[in-house]
Amino acid sequence: MAKTTLSFVCQNCGAAYNRWQGKCESCGEWNTLAEEDTSGSVPVSIRSKRKGRTFALESLAGRSPDAPRLSSGMTELDRVTGGGFVRGSVLLVGGDPGIGKSTLLTQATSLLARAGHRVVYISGEEAVAQVRLRAERLGLSDAPVQLAAETSVEDIVSTLSEGAVPRLIVIDSIQTMWTDTVESAPGTVTQVRASAQALIRFAKKTGAAIILVGHVTKDGQIAGPRVVEHMVDGVMSFEGEGSQQFRILRAVKNRFGPTDEIGVFEMTGLGLREVTNPSELFLSERDLGTPGTAVFAGIEGTRPVLVELQALVAPTSLGTPRRAVVGWDPGRLSMVLAVLEAHCGVKLSGHDVYLNVAGGLRINEPAADLAAAAALVSSLVNAQLPTDAVYFGEISLSGVVRPVAQTPARLKEAAKLGFQRAVLPESARGETSGDAGLSLNAVNSLTTLVAEIAARGSRRGESNGPAEKNATPARFRRGDG
């Protein structure tokens, strides 16, 4: 008999240990080690005697045909995947519970099935009747999608091997799958890795595209199968705020396309609706005339996106001022605050600073430095920024405003949405095509922009006129008797 080999595997990162311990040294998580049987179903003595087979070797000069893609019928989904699903590719889709992963995949599979392709939807968490209820609510019950509720990988592969090869297979979710090759419980790292390997081998052998749905942890990371991210061809994250109606599909890894594209959807009563112009959605509820708000002209992949940055600077009563940021890198905020205080004379050491990207969009590019600085100074001096102006530019540690890429695309999008002015780096003026029709305010250093904003406002709590000696309202004053 094969000797049973037990080890303790971290359910967060997959690191293995010989003994149990409270903290995983690889990822730093506590109480994530679980005992698993890591021995295979075949004894080691038999595996060591197995002879390998020879295979053909090819040269680099050979030509490979372009990977044919299968369009999903959803423009935003095709944008993120790079133009559609590649034959034999495996994608991993993660997102918070209830964010709309199953809704998105139900709509995509229904569109493909209506186009005449064989599509299979395997649900490991819901019954077939529950999937049918969702399709009926979305008005997609007439789509010829083949459904099944199964968790055994061997049974799934055997069933899908019969008849025509499916063009798209959805596994919802990979944490519920299990295989006979390992003896761990479903959902463990060993089971998830072995199940994913079996499905990936089936996809590469038959040419079917497979989408694996993965759970996420409270930190937003895909739970358990971090090792699966290195095995699949693409990893997509479905993001969104519970209080907002829009959802963002972002590619974290993509072997067949870009990783900087995003797809924007809006959650409605009839499912997810594609948003062709995200800027109008992010700016639809903008508060005009409020100090501390600036419109940033950003770029997500090849798409320009305009979003509002909201800042609040308030005096603090604590020994250490608070710095809170939502939707932006906290390190970039700390750098901008340091440059403002060191080179522009803006004292923020006694103020709490809050910065928010309106709508829940997450910004990753440093071009938002100039818009964030404008919003912070506007809130500090209580000055209203022009409502028809957009801001973009990278701030260096010396206070110089550096140029950013794709300036004409940013200006064209701003002009299309009705903006009249743009504040941009001085060195980027030569990149403008001139046909956007915007009034350009080119700044070379952050000090120039701060002086312009400070000239239009006053500190919070300061009055423009002389203060009255008795500020008590007349209705609360004691009468003369």
pLDDT digits (tens, 9 = 90+) for 436-448: 678 999 999 999 9
Do the beta carbons of residue 289 and residue 378 sit within 8 Å? no
**Packing angle, helices 330-343 and 446-454, rounded to 10:** 80
Do the beta carbons of residue 355 and residue 333 sit within 8 Å? yes
Distance CA 227, CA 92 (A): 12
Do the beta carbons of residue 32 and residue 11 sit within 8 Å? yes
Q: For the chain, give the percent of residues with pLDDT over 90.
A: 54
The pTM of the full predicted model, rounded to 2 decimals, is: 0.76
Mean pLDDT in residue range 313-330: 91
Say if residue 475's pLDDT is above 50: no
**Which distant-in-sequence residues (6+ apart) come within 8 Å of 107 by Cβ?**
74, 138, 140, 271, 272
Do the beta carbons of residue 153 and residue 178 sit within 8 Å? yes
pLDDT of residue 362: 87
- The region that residue 242 occupies, defined by phi over 0 for left and psi between -120 and 50 for alpha, beta otherwise, is alpha
Mean pLDDT in residue range 325-335: 94
Distance CA 374, CA 376 (A): 5
Distance CA 421, CA 336 (A): 23
pLDDT band for position 3 (cuts 50, 70, 90) = low
pLDDT digits over 279-294, tens only?
Answer: 887 887 777 778 999 9
| 137 vs 245, more confident | 137
Which residue's structure tokens are 């979003």? 307
Say if residue 110's pLDDT is above 70: yes
Q: Residue 83 corresponds to which tokens in the numbers above?
A: 């133009």
pLDDT of residue 359: 79
pLDDT digits over 18-64, tens only?
Answer: 889 999 888 888 888 888 765 554 444 444 555 678 878 878 787 76
**Packing angle, helices 153-160 and 189-206, rounded to 10:** 10
- The region that residue 444 occupies, defined by phi over 0 for left and psi between -120 and 50 for alpha, beta otherwise, is alpha
What value does the mean pLDDT of the chain take? 85
Mean pLDDT in residue range 339-343: 94
**Strongest mean pLDDT among 5-14, 258-267, 432-441:** 258-267
pLDDT band for position 307 (cuts 50, 70, 90) = very high
| 83 vs 14, more confident | 83
pLDDT of residue 272: 93
Distance CA 99, CA 240 (A): 7
Distance CA 178, CA 438 (A): 59
List phi, psi (to 5°) of 375: -65, -40
Do the beta carbons of residue 55 and residue 67 sit within 8 Å? no
pLDDT of residue 463: 41
pLDDT of residue 477: 39
pLDDT of residue 187: 80
Mean pLDDT in residue range 207-225: 74
pLDDT digits over 249-258, tens only?
Answer: 999 899 998 8
